[in-house]
Homo-oligomer: A and B are copies of this chain.
Amino acid sequence: MVYLTRREHFNGAHKLYINSWSEEKNREVFGKCANKHYHGHNFDVYVTVKAVPHAETGFVINAHHLSKIMKREIVDRLDHKNFNLDVPEFKNKLGTSENVAIQIWRWMEPHLTDCKLHCVKLVETENIYVEYFGE
């Protein structure tokens, strides 16, 4: 079993703000991230899959093929988008890195047939990242 990881990139905007809360409570919990005019990040997303390498090609998965799936399922949905306004899945759920990572798992998993999805890692800044292993 070998694990292969591929990185893709997208830039998004979001705000962490719960409408049913007061402005004060939002500021207290989310700090500067509650700015009502949004802020954004350069997100790096790493998708890790695992399989026994194919006997002839030596591949866990063709990394170019994995890249195409990631671009279609992740980048096209999130790049240069406002998560709160442009992404249906985050209309009623906060687009925290935690929730975005779980959602990326759901988008990717159905399209990985010859190998198994192992991890989605989402890097928000050089100081913060999250990982989701599907359970």
Q: Mark A47-86, 1 if CB is under 8 A from B, else 0.
A: 0000001001111101110010000000000011110011
Are A85 and B37 in touch, CB under 8 angstroms? Answer: yes
Q: Which residues on B sit within 8 Å (CB–CB) of A41? A: 11, 40-42
Q: Which residue of B lies closest to A118 (CB)?
A: B131
Q: Which residues on B sit within 8 Å (CB–CB) of A9? A: 125
Q: Which residue of B lies closest to A84 (CB)?
A: B37
In the complex, whether A135 has a CB less than 8 A from a CB of chain B is yes
Are B4 and A126 in touch, CB under 8 angstroms? Answer: no
- A29-B62, A35-B80, A57-B96 are contacts. A3–B130 as well, Cβ < 8 Å? yes
A13-B39, A37-B85, A39-B80 known; 13 other A-B pairs, CB under 8 Å?
Answer: A2-B102, A5-B128, A7-B127, A13-B38, A16-B57, A30-B57, A32-B79, A35-B82, A41-B42, A42-B125, A57-B94, A58-B94, A63-B128
5 contacts between A and B (CB under 8 A): A3-B132, A5-B128, A13-B37, A13-B38, A63-B128
